[in-house]
Amino acid sequence: MTGRMAVIALNTFRESIREKLLYIVLIYAGILVLCTFVLSPLSVGAAKGKIITDVGLAGISLLGVLTVIVAGSSLVHKEIEKKAVFMVVTRPVSRQEYLVGKFAGVVMALGLLMLAMAAVMTAMILWGNGKVNIPVLSAVYLSMLEMAVISAVVIFFSTFTTPVLTSFFAVCIFVAGSLSGDLRAFASRFGGPAVRHLTEFLYYVLPNIRVFNLRNEAVHDLRFNGGDIALATLYAAAYCGVVLYFAYLVFRRREFS
């Protein structure tokens, strides 16, 4: 990362923190405590820790994705509306550096948010006599990768549409990416050739959200292949790189006056 990108990333990080993102941690803690007290009477012994782990990891993933969609959808559009982007593109900062800096700043801010939620979850798991093991930590890490992929998608849509449409498209991409594997399997069994080709295309174009889901292994302390974590990391890095490149191709064609 160049010095210019680092400055943009730091400014974006500060802007994101000022958006009162830390309130998300309080909401998450409240939801986790409430679910714990409601569901704990239905469990005994180590099951309480499993419930906290399951609810906690699901909350980190869902709140992380929703927060990046809400907070990131207006990042570029807001600077265009306020004409603050003019001060950037007229200086020796390329549009590619600008977008990568924005992406890095959002990821840093949301990464800090998710680490705070993970700390709350850890405290609750230990209180419920559960275990914070390698699968749990790996699941949190994969949720951060998931958040980074959705951040890149949000940045892409924010380069050419409004915040409302950016949020809508990002939610659709997230849901479709979560179901693409099931749709592909269903189409291969029951669909015609056209449907199979379409679902095959969408399977490879949409982000494979299932890659970042390790909650079942974390909750039940099951063994998992460590190589899958490395592959998920490479997949997230490659997907973010491709999406940001297309975002740059769109953004460089925009005229600001």
Summarize pLDDT for 81-117 with one digit per residue, the tens: 666 666 666 666 777 888 888 899 989 988 888 888 8
What pLDDT score was predicted for residue 22?
65
How much is the mean pLDDT over the chain?
81
b/e 123-148 (16+ beta carbons within 10 angstroms → b): ebbeebebebeebbebbbbbbbbbbb
What separation in angstroms does the CA of 209 have from each of 12, 95, 97, 164, 202? 26, 28, 27, 22, 13
Q: Does residue 45 have a pLDDT over 60?
A: no
What pLDDT score was predicted for residue 251?
85
Distance CA 211, CA 146 (A): 9
pLDDT tens-place string over residues 157-190: 988 888 889 989 999 999 988 887 777 777 777 7
What pLDDT score was predicted for residue 242?
95
What pLDDT score was predicted for residue 240?
95
What pLDDT score was predicted for residue 237?
95
pTM to 2 decimal places: 0.87
Confidence band for 44, pLDDT divided at 50, 70 and 90: low
Which is higher by pLDDT, 177 or 128? Answer: 177
pLDDT, average across residues 23-43: 71
Distance CA 195, CA 192 (A): 5
What pLDDT score was predicted for residue 224?
79
pLDDT, average across residues 39-55: 68
Angle, CA 59 vertex, CA 137 and CA 33 arms, to 5°: 100
The DSSP element (H or E) to which 253 belongs, if any, is none
Q: In this predicted structure, which of 32-41, 70-79, 209-218 has the lowest mean pLDDT?
A: 32-41
